[in-house]
Each structure stands twice: as structure tokens, then as C-alpha cells.
Amino acid sequence: MGRPAFFRQRILTQAASLEAKSLFNFLVSEIRTRREVPLEEAILAARDVLEYLERNLLTRTLGQIQFPAISGRENHKKRSRANQPEKLINLTVVAEEDIELMAEFGTVALQRGRLARLIEEAYAQDAILDGHRLSVLFLQTHRGIRALLQSFWQQGVLLPVAGMKRTNRQLMQGLRGVLAIDRYLSGEDLTALRKDLAISTSRWQRWWQSFKELVRNQDRPLAELAGTLQEPVELLTAWREVYEDHRKKDPGLAARLGLNQGTLSKPDAITNRQALGELLCRRHGYSPAAAEQFLDDLVDLAARLNRQERAPGAIIYQAVSDREPAGKKLAECELKAVVLDYVTREDWELANRDNAEALKWTRLLRFAAQARSQGATLNQPDLALLLGLSTKSIQSLLKKHPGVVVPTRGLVADMGPALSHADKIIRLYMDGYTETEIVRRTGHSYESVENYLLDFARVTYLLERGLPVPAIRKVLGCSRRLVEKHVSLYREFSGPDHAFMMAKVRRLAEAHPVKKN
């Protein structure tokens, strides 16, 4: 009886861990640190700031890639796709709304929401995706992708992909935002319809606020409102039709929902520094000096993120530094922005319509190794979010490759019960393998291998000088369990068979002495 509750709590814990590393959470924390305001007010301010940051300062949002799609949104009819024109579009493969959906409705909701977002973003840029492209982006077989899409098409959602059957094309009626508002005005339960359509709380709030502003400002041209509300004209047009249909059935609808005509309460689109500064002062109570300082810091933050060189298929992800020990609160841990190659040429070759296992494993290993080479580590919830899988699936992938060392945070910080990759690296070294051979066998970078060997050498050095385990742990700043594991290895390799290699370990420690505190 207690398992469902336990499982639910684990999902919420994982979601909280992911949210704590997000850019939005960083902005909320910064606002609360600078000004003593309630959490709700900080969240409202952070949404405006994040919108400005993503639209005006960042060259690409952190979870966004550039991806080749089929040009032309109407090219979804079933016909040959050979020699069709392509165009490069921006797709958000990882977003904070994914975390919201996972926390509220589970991993399947995350997958459905991400799939719908990718197709909708392509559609908004006058492009569509086909099965092969979706297999590269979305770690599912064609059958699995079709099943997810069918769950939307049966509800009338407009999600066109290349090569659709006529029967499926005929099912599509409108965009998710249109159907969601229509069903809500018809009296459907909001939580249930959001689950059906894979709509996060933040996305729904944005759509609902924009819909209300549209109704309150019916005399303004749609093109003008589209710029103000940052929504496409076709969505606003469909919303206006939905409202008129419901108003005819219920003349008191506007008064009941507080949608009476009035001035636009949402400020005009934040398109420049001055507009954001005025918004911070007028809407969120900043002084001119405080707003100016905050704007300067935003420019610096954007410059740091933009300086991160990344390929068209790469994203930026906030991960915990690999020097942070186990047991430390996440809020106190150092975070590093790492560049991860989300889509590579190899992925296109590995994409298989009937089996996604090879691509799942390759991408998991690449993400973990790339983060580690940049001085950070990814835990299982990080990998689950990035790959769009459950943590149980991540664990299964790791168990299927027991001979491969994957530098997750649990292993680097020695949090888990399994034999750590540090053990394997040290054993290979003590057996006479060179660093180059160890790199090739484990998939680690030279820097990572050197760091693990150096940790073992320093434990050896301090142990032979009589320091107890607690003192060694404090001097090196690592976990007690990791020190004890190194001590166990030291005792194992202290015999005559490994005397030559232990001498090399001692020389390594002498060449890199422990810094005095």
C-alpha cells in the first residue's frame, strides 16, 4: 500500500533537484537575495526577466538546438519525401516545463509534452519533422512515437508530421492551446485536460493570461496583440473564434470569468533594456538604481552563457561541480554550465526505427563523459531529463553495460553501493596499464584519470605518514567512504607484486603535494 506514495515522493524529490539547477530558479534566488519579497512575487519577476533574457540577450536558449527540418508546414501529406527542401530551425529539446510535467503527471507526460513542443515549434517556423528526424530527437521507436502522437490526434490536436495517413490528418482540428481553452470554457476539469494534452502549469498560465487579454482588448488589431502577447496570430484568431462561440451559448461568460473589456493589463513586449527597467520599477517595485544594477548583471550572465562555444546540435546544462562531496546541500553546491552535444552525426547513423537502445546508450555515455571533462557531473535524474526517460530506464541502461565506467555524480562522489569507476581506474593502473590505455578502456578524459590517480596517491601519502581516516577526509575534502575505499586499495596493493607501481604512486604524491590549509 505504501509503494505508490513512496514512488510519488521520489519523483517529487528528483524534480526538486532538477528545478534547483535551472536558470529560472537561479533568477528567483537572485531576486529574493537582492530584495526581501515573498516567493510568489519573486517568481512573477523572474518570469518577466527570463522572457527578456531569452528573447533579447541569449543567442539561443540553454536547451535549444538548431536542427534541419523539412521546409513547409503543409508537407505532411503522404508522398515521397526525396529531394524536399530543408531549413534550419530552432528546437527546444530540454525545457523547464518538462520538469513540471514529470513532477505532476510522470515520465510519460514529460515525453508527450516534449514531443508536442518539438512538432509545434517546427510548425511555427513553417517546417515539419518526419519519422527519422523524430527518432534522432526522441529516443523512441517509430511505433512508440506513433502511439504518443495517436493519443493527441484522437483528441483533435494539430501535430502534423511528414508522411501522415489521411485518416490521421482528418483527425486534427486545432492547436493544443486552442483545444485547451475550448475544453476549459466547456467546463472540463483543468487538471484532467492538462494531463490529456500534456500541458504544464506554467504553459497553461501563459495561455490563459494571454487569452484573457485578447478578450479584454477585442478592438485592438490581432497583429498588434500578437506582438504584445508574444503569441502567433493564428492562435489568437482561433481563440477569438472560440470565445465568440462560447459567448453565444453563455452571454454572461465574460462577467463570470472576469473577462470584461478594458485596457491591456500586461505591459507591451519587453524588447529592450529600457522597457525591462521600467517594468521592474513599475510592476515589481525596484528602485531605478537597483533595476540598473540588476540589468548590468543580466548582461554579464548572458555574455557568460553566450561565450560557451557550442555546435548547432549542442545545449547548455547546469550541473554540479565534480569537486562537490557527497551529502552537501544542493543549494550550497557549485554549479557549472556545461556544453552537451545533444545531436551529433553519429546519432543520425544510430537512429533506428525499430530499436532505440543503441542511441540511448551512446547519448547517455556522451552526456556523462562530456560533463565530467568540463569539471561537472550528472546524476541519474539529470540524465533522465536530458534523455526523456525515467530514472529506472537509466538504471537499466547502466546495468546492461557493467564493464563500462560511466562518470555519474553518484560514482564520482561515491554515493552509490556499486564499485566506483575510481576503483576500476586505479586497478588498471596498478596492473600496469598506461593512462592512454585507461582512457581508451573507460571512456574518461586524461584529466579525469589523472585526478583519480592523484586522489589515490595523496591518500597513500597521508596514510603512510600516520594520519587517520577522519583527518585524511578533512584534508582532501572528500567523503569518508571514498577515503576508506582508497585505504582498502592501498592495503591490497602494498604487497611485493605491486611494489614498482606503488613507488610510482608515491612519486606522484610527492610531485603534487597536498595544499596546506
Q: What is the pLDDT of residue 280?
A: 85
DSSP 187: T
pLDDT exceeds cutoff 80 at 493: yes
Global pTM value: 0.78
Of the listed ranges 31-40, 43-52, 388-397, 438-447, the least confidently predicted one is 438-447
Q: Are 493 and 501 in contact (CB under 8 A)?
A: yes
pLDDT exceeds cutoff 60 at 4: no
How far is Cα 57 from Cα 306, in angstroms, rounded to an integer? 9
Q: What is the mean pLDDT of residues 209-213?
A: 89
Question: Residue 264: which pLDDT band, with cuts at 50, 70 and 90?
Answer: very low
Q: Nearest Cα to 467, choosing from 412, 510, 514?
A: 514
How far is Cα 237 from Cα 226, in angstroms, rounded to an integer? 10
How far is Cα 251 from Cα 182, in angstroms, rounded to an integer? 16
How far is Cα 291 from Cα 294, in angstroms, rounded to an integer? 5
Q: What is the pLDDT of residue 418?
A: 40
Question: Residue 188: which pLDDT band, with cuts at 50, 70 and 90?
Answer: very high
Query: In the chain, how long is the greatest CA-to-CA distance?
Result: 92
How far is Cα 513 from Cα 85, in angstroms, rounded to an integer? 60
Question: Residue 185: which pLDDT band, with cuts at 50, 70 and 90?
Answer: very high
Per-residue H/E/C for 19-43: HHCCHHHHHHHHHHHHCCCCHHHHH
Query: What type of residue is 51?
Result: E
DSSP 420: P
Where are the domains positioned within the chain?
60-174, 176-266, 419-517
Dihedral sign of CA atoms 372, 375, 378, 383 in order:
negative
Mean pLDDT of the residues in the chain: 86
Question: Residue 3: which pLDDT band, with cuts at 50, 70 and 90?
Answer: very low
Q: What is the mean pLDDT of residues 27-38?
A: 81
Of the listed ranges 18-27, 103-112, 123-132, the least confidently predicted one is 18-27
pLDDT, tens digit (0-9, with 9 covering 90-100), for 505-517:
999 988 888 765 4
Q: At 465, is the secondary structure helix, strand, or coil?
A: coil
Q: Name which residue leads in pLDDT, 227 or 80.
A: 227
pLDDT, tens digit (0-9, with 9 covering 90-100), for 453-470:
888 999 999 998 888 988
Percent with pLDDT over 70 in the chain: 91
Angular region, 388: left φ>0, alpha ψ -120 to 50, beta rest: left
pLDDT, tens digit (0-9, with 9 covering 90-100), for 438-447:
887 776 667 7
pLDDT exceeds cutoff 90 at 151: yes
Q: What is the mean pLDDT of residues 71-91?
A: 77
How far is Cα 427 from Cα 514, in angstroms, rounded to an integer? 23
* CB crowding 53-86: b at 16 or more within 10 Å, else e: bbebbbebbbbbbebbbbbeeebbeeeeeeeeee
How far is Cα 283 from Cα 441, in angstroms, rounded to an integer? 57
Of the listed ranges 17-21, 300-304, 327-331, 451-455, the least confidently predicted one is 327-331
Q: What is the pLDDT of residue 7?
A: 52
Q: What is the mean pLDDT of residues 66-86?
A: 77
How far is Cα 359 from Cα 86, in angstroms, rounded to an integer? 24
Q: Are 319 and 382 in contact (CB under 8 A)?
A: yes
Q: What is the mean pLDDT of residues 225-229?
A: 82
Q: What is the pLDDT of residue 174?
A: 94
Percent with pLDDT over 90 in the chain: 40
